[in-house]
Amino acid sequence: MKLVLAILAATLGCSSEGSGGPRPPVQCGGQTCAEGQLCATITAGHVCDTNPDAGIGEYSVLRVYCMTPPAACGAHPDCECIGGCSLATGEGRPCLSVTDDHVSCGCF
């Protein structure tokens, strides 16, 4: 009986892996992103988007927000599909990397 339960548990565990289901909610700055969203972080670069007078130095975080990836990205979005992130001004910055629940954008 224990063997049957172990096989059943292993089978159920394996069947849910890689199912491509929605990503669970993730903490993103001071908010919680909805299921399926990514936490997007935009950072200044070495030179671009820096403004020492405004306190924005190299690699400073400019914006953190919840992003809904395009439906065409499917369950495993990447930079090619996402393209980039938007600053609050509407300007965009290119995608640098994507993990399971975060996307990083910025410039160099």
Instruction: Confirm whether 30 is domain-assigned.
Output: yes
User: Per-residue pLDDT averaged across 62-68, rounded?
Assistant: 95
Instruction: Confirm whether 96 is domain-assigned.
Output: yes
Strand-by-strand arrangement of the 84-86 sheet: 61-67, 38-43, 102-106, 92-98, 84-86
Q: What is the pLDDT of residue 21?
A: 59
28-51 pLDDT tens trace: 999 999 999 999 999 999 888 999
pTM recorded for the entire structure = 0.74
In the predicted model, is pLDDT for residue 20 greater than 60?
no
Instruction: Confirm whether 78 is domain-assigned.
Output: yes
3-state helix, strand and coil shares in percent for the chain, rounded to the nearest 5: 25, 30, 45
Domain hosting residue 88, numbered range: 23-106
Average pLDDT, the chain: 81
Residue owning tokens 């190299």 = 58
In the predicted model, is pLDDT for residue 10 greater than 50?
no
The domain total for the chain is 1
User: Per-residue pLDDT averaged across 63-70, rounded?
Assistant: 95
89 in the Ramachandran plot: left (φ > 0), alpha (ψ -120 to 50) or beta? Answer: alpha
